[in-house]
Amino acid sequence: MRLSIVIPVYNSAPVLPRLTTEIFGNLLPAKDSELSADGSFTLELLLVDDGSTDGSFEVIRALAARDARIRGFRLSKNYGQQNATLCGLRHATGDLIATMDDDLQHPAASLKDMIRQLLAENQDIVYGIYPYKGERIRTLGSSLRDWLFNTQIGKPENVEISSFRVMRRGLRDRIVETQYRFAYISALVIKETLMIGNHPVERQPRAAGRSGYTFASLCALYFRTWLYYGRRSLMPEGLKRRAAYALVEETPVIVQSEGSDLRPESRRCSKKLMLLGAGKLQVNAVKRAQELGYGVVAVDWEPSAPAKKISDEEGLADVFDTDACLELARKFSADGVMTTGTDQPVLTAAKVAREMGLPSLISVNTALGATHKGVMKRRLDTCGIPTAPYTLWHPSDGLEVLEALMPGVVKPVDSQGQRGIFRVNSPEEAAARFEEVLRYSRDERILVEKFISGDEVTFSGWVRDGKLYPLALTDRVTFAEQERIGICVAHEFPTKHFETHADEVLALSKRIVEAFDIFNGPVYIQYLLGETTVVNELACRIGGAYEDIWMPELTGCDWLRWMIEGALGETSNFSALEAYDWKKVGRRLSAQLFFSEPGTVRRLSAQPTAACLDYGFHYEEGQTIGGIANATQRAGYFVVTSEDEAGLDAAVADMFARMSIEMEGAEGNALLVRKRR
């Protein structure tokens, strides 16, 4: 287990050496089976200088140069304790993340007990609580804060909060997505979870000086908290959104190589990754690349795309437009380019990499076959790999050529997200849909293929030096309604067809890898299990059902990391891939991709269970959700696990009951609840 400790620092230069010594002395060495399954326990310490004027960052820089476990960050000015803490949280890489003050009053030795409580009681966060003895101002301030949090923010009265806390990484991931320029960490926590614990701790003497807070400054702080987070706040959302801080300097990371001395490597400037697409599906890729020490340029046609809000730099371009993306790659001096969770930018990334001489896991020819359905179908046909009968059709071809394909499905040849896909029962229906399908395409023809009835399964694997390693086979659950054909609502792991079809699917997948010259990287292949097994579509990317999050949890294979490293030409450690056996299924998993009734979002809420790996909403309060036309209009997702099917059924039902989307002018929960399968 890895623990990150975040400490905001303000004018504490004399205290910092003693602070770091006390933390490491109390927490290491640590071998404790209650804290980690294998007894291991590693630390990183993140010190965030919040505009100090006493040379604190020089001390931090010196400490980091001597100890690989210490990382330093310097903000451009004094943004306040909360925003400085947010900076540290965003850069933490631990399985658990703790926050502490810089005055030595928080006892580091208590963190072990707080972690034990967190794990034993399945809580998301545990606060270390102590009274403010003899500090009348802080006592009054604490009472004012509790009143505010109880009445305006939704804190249960039996829960106390402080700046001394330890939380799970999943909770951290959700709260750091805030776009507010003022980040009160505990207000963000309460918005995300009520699985909160308190642990009594002994307060230590202050190392030097006295608190920087006055009663007036505390009142100002809590008034600002009400403006940003209070239930009855009148502050417009647009005024709340701005960067919470400006980061101007980071200490180098000291990397320990096996059999070598510690060596410094410049962090987040050594290499820069350009990510094509900046939607919700790309947010985790930005975070993962940053955790690995790389800078990220997020490119999207949407100026306010979610992943741009957390990336280091951003570019404005249509990710279908190779020339525009190439220009941005040159402008930002990108060292690598990639995408995840979406199809078409795979081709753009391969072209940009080729033009700039950058590393790429796949060739342009392979990318074309994996993104253009016409090329894909022809290659499958040529290699004798079973797929649905099809034609690329234009009205000038006449209706007669479509007769043998009815009932059929019409699709754009170069789009994704189930946009422009329709079930048709006659050539006339196909012709009537032509213009509508073409709106989602840059081609002049559409794909018309015969409809095949049967269950859908999705194969996920990784190719290394031409060898395919299977990772997962999931049931791809879709809407049953004809007008919503192909729109996925869930992935279930493992598939109920594993015993009967796993070997056949793996054999077909190996043929696909060879046919499409896939030498390295991820493969994601959809199969239809009808009277015979046929290939529906394939992709050279990580899937769009949050496989980047749950695949490492279930298999130990961190394929998002491998993609990032591959795009940058870095060497990856594939020992987990070599050791993994996809037929030895442990936990079961359900990734639910839910929709809602249309309307303008008034309130979003969720209380994740212990079975929940991750969750999120795709919309924010004040935004409008349309109807269910395609997969891009999903309202959100959650991923839950269990040891058996009955437990997974209960976990899905429980999470649906704990998530809510309230619309303006409407009563009740607008979230559309569906059964698991």
Whichever domain contains 331, its CATH number is: 3.40.50.20
Q: What is the per-residue pLDDT across 588-615, written as a single tens digit (0 to 9) for each?
A: 999 999 999 999 999 999 988 889 999 9
Q: Which tens digits make up the pLDDT trace of 349-368?
A: 999 999 999 999 999 999 99
383 alpha carbon, distance to own chain's centre? 37
| Domain match, 21 and 126 both | yes
Written as one letter, the residue type at 464 is R
Please indicate, yes or no, whether residues 7 and 154 belong to a single structural domain of this protein: yes
d(CA 393, CA 340): 30
Q: Hey, what are 261's tokens?
A: 């001395």
Residue 267 lies in a domain: no
> Domain for residue 265, yes or no?
no
**Residue range 141-162, pLDDT digits in tens:** 667 777 788 788 888 889 999 9
Average pLDDT of the segment spanning 201-230? 76
Burial of 97 (0-12, 13-18, 19+ CB in 10 A): buried
Q: Are 373 and 384 in contact (CB under 8 A)?
A: no
Please name every residue paired with 45 in a beta bridge, in sequence order, or none if there are none: 5, 70
> At 403, which CATH number?
3.30.1490.20
Give the total residue count for the chain. 677
For 17, the token pair is: 């050496």
For tokens 């894909």, what's the residue?
376
pLDDT in tens, 90-127: 999 899 999 999 999 999 999 999 999 999 998 999 99
> Quick one: pLDDT at residue 442?
83
pLDDT at 16 over 50: yes
Task: Tell me if 415 sits within 8 A of 440, measured CB to CB.
Answer: yes
Give 667-671 contacts, CB < 8 A, sequence gap 24+.
Answer: 670/596, 670/597, 670/599, 670/625, 671/594, 671/596, 671/635
CA 268 to chain centre: 19
Range list of β-strands (E), 621-664:
624-625, 636-642, 659-663
Nearest to 350 by CA among 328, 365, 333: 365
**Which of 233, 248, 263 is the C-terminal boundary of a domain?**
248
Indicate whether 154 and 36 sit together in one domain. Answer: yes
Distance, in Å, from the CA atom of 241 to the CA atom of 620, rounded to the nearest integer, reads 12
For residue 4, the model assigns a pLDDT of: 95
pLDDT per residue over 441-491, tens digit each?
888 999 999 999 999 999 999 999 999 999 999 999 987 666 567 688 999
Q: What percentage of the chain has pLDDT greater than the value 90?
A: 66
User: Is there a single domain that holds both residue 213 and residue 284?
Assistant: no
Within this chain, do residues 430 and 346 fall inside the same structural domain, yes or no? no
Give the confidence band of 36 by pLDDT, cuts at 50, 70, 90: low
Q: Domain end: 541, 567, 586, which one?
A: 586
What mean pLDDT is reported for the chain? 88
pLDDT digits (tens, 9 = 90+) for 291-316: 888 999 999 999 989 999 899 999 99
pLDDT tens profile 127-140: 999 865 555 545 56
- 633, two tokens: 């209009």
Examine the domain organization and report whether 156 and 302 are in the same domain: no
Contact 275, 296 (CB under 8 A): yes
Number of Cα atoms under 13 Å in the Cβ half of residue 638: 25
Domain-embedded: residue 75: yes
What is the C-alpha to C-alpha distance for residues 447 and 79, in angstroms, rounded to an integer?
55
Residue 178 tokens, joined: 């805030």
> Helix, strand or coil for residue 90?
helix
The amino acid at 127: Y
Determine contact, residues 373/413, Cβ cutoff 8 Å. Answer: yes
pLDDT in tens, 623-649: 999 877 666 788 999 999 999 999 999
Residues 6+ apart with CB under 8 A from 314: 278, 297, 298, 299, 300, 308
Indicate whether 261 pLDDT > 50.
no
Alpha-carbon distance of 659 to 674, in angstroms, equals 13
> Structural domain tally of the chain?
5
Does position 68 have pLDDT exceeding 90, yes or no? no
Structure tokens at 450: 């015969």
Question: CA-to-CA distance for 541 and 560, rounded, in angstroms?
Answer: 10
> At residue 333, what is the residue type?
S
Q: Tell me the pLDDT band of 35, cut-offs 50, 70 and 90.
A: low
Cβ–Cβ contacts within 10 Å for residue 349, how many?
A: 31
Same domain, 235 and 122: yes
Residue 576: pLDDT over 50:
yes
The answer to whether residues 498 and 522 belong to one domain is yes
293-297 CB contacts, 8 Å cutoff, 24+ apart: 293/253, 293/265, 293/267, 293/268, 294/268, 294/270, 294/564, 294/568, 295/268, 295/269, 295/271, 296/272, 297/272, 297/273, 297/328, 297/332, 297/334
Judgement on whether residues 209 and 102 belong to the same structural domain of the protein? yes
Query: What's residue 609's pLDDT?
Result: 87
What is the C-alpha separation between 192 and 89, in angstroms, rounded? 15
**How far apart, in Å, do the first and last CA atoms of the chain sit?**
35
Range of the domain at 226: 2-248
Residue 372 lies in a domain: no
Question: Does the pLDDT of residue 239 top 90, yes or no?
Answer: no
For residue 344, what pLDDT is reported? 85
259: left (phi over 0), alpha (psi -120 to 50) or beta: left
The helix or strand, by DSSP H or E, that contains position 289, with its residue range, turns out to be helix 280-291
Write down which residue in 550, 568, 586 finishes a domain: 586
Shared domain for 336 and 393, answered yes or no, is no
At residue 205 the predicted structure's pLDDT band, cuts being 50, 70 and 90, is confident
Q: What does the alpha-carbon distance between residue 34 and residue 610 come to, in Å, rounded to a whole number?
A: 17
Q: What is the pLDDT of residue 1?
A: 81
Sign of CA dihedral 154, 157, 163, 168: negative
The Cα–Cα gap between 181 and 605 comes to: 21
Contact (Cβ atoms closer than 8 angstroms) between residue 364 and residue 425: no
Q: With respect to residue 461, please indicate whether it lies within any of the assigned structural domains.
A: yes
Separation CA 326–CA 451 (nearest Å): 39
What is the number of other CB atoms lying within 10 angstroms of the CB of residue 497?
17
pLDDT number for residue 631: 62
Dist. CA 602–CA 576, nearest whole Å: 44
φ/ψ of 254, rounded to 5, equals -100, 115
Q: Name the band, by pLDDT with cuts 50, 70 and 90, for residue 173.
A: confident
Q: pLDDT-derived band of residue 255, with 50, 70 and 90 as boundaries? A: very low
Between CA 103 and CA 279 the distance in angstroms is: 40
Location of structure tokens 């991820």? 522
Tell me 180's DSSP state: B
Asked if residue 671 is part of any domain, the answer here is: no
User: In what side-by-side order are the strands of the sheet with 521-529?
Assistant: 533-539, 521-529, 455-464, 467-478, 488-493, 588-594, 636-642, 612-617
The per-residue pLDDT for 673 is 85
The amino acid at 635: A
Same domain membership, residue 119 and residue 62: yes
* Closest by CA position to 566, among listed 326, 369, 365, 362: 362
134 and 90 in one domain? yes
Decide if 343 is inside a domain.
yes
Element (H, E) at 23: helix 16-27
- Looking at mean pLDDT, say which of 194-208, 251-265, 537-551 comes out highest: 537-551
In a domain, 383, yes or no: no
